[in-house]
Amino acid sequence: MKLIGMLDSPYVRRVAISLRLLGLDFEHQAISVFSTYDAFAAINPVVKAPTLVTDEGVVLMDSGLILEHAERMAGRTLSPADLAAHARSQRIIGLALAACEKSVQIVYEQLLRPEEKRHQPWLDRVRGQLVQAYHLLEQEVSLARPWCFGDQPLQADITSAVAWRFTREMVPEALDPQALPALNRLSQRAEASEPFVEFPFH
């Protein structure tokens, strides 16, 4: 099984860390959708990261769909079993993914679009959405003891920590970290854990 994509993508990184926590063997190939476009296209013509190539050669994409299949392969889940806890977990993951999406939009706007073509009202709106997502996420992860759903990290923790690291690295001016202490604590705890160390942001 092969995971294709760079670890500076929060979507690739959440999959890599999750696969490791699920105990699944895989090979990570750090191929970029930008600098090595043709090499990526040879594996997945859609050129979407992350891409997972199964042992049978099936090419999967979209981190959520990959993780759904991975949990079936592993025979276990990274979500809490209780229905109410599962709903809260899905809320946390949704907020973290929204933060990822808005951070990526800002990065693309700043790095790929010529300055004279940037639409500031749209960029301001995206920044506002990013701030709201993280303030709501802060409220949720403030309840972590030490993780959001007990003694072991689950997908809510993984995605929240990965999202927060990505935003801190790529859009540092967007937020005041001191105003989000629970996310800082979760990030520090996660980044010190073995799967996060094995698949670092870079």
Encode pLDDT of 57-105 as tens digits.
999 999 999 999 999 999 999 999 999 999 999 999 999 999 999 999 9
Q: What is the pTM of this model?
A: 0.96
pLDDT-flagged residues of the chain (< 50): none
In angstroms, rounded to a whole number, what is the distance separating the alpha carbons of residues 159 and 97?
Answer: 7
φ, ψ of residue 140 in degrees (nearest 5) = -70, -50
Contact 105, 170 (CB under 8 A): no
Residue with tokens 């476009």: 37
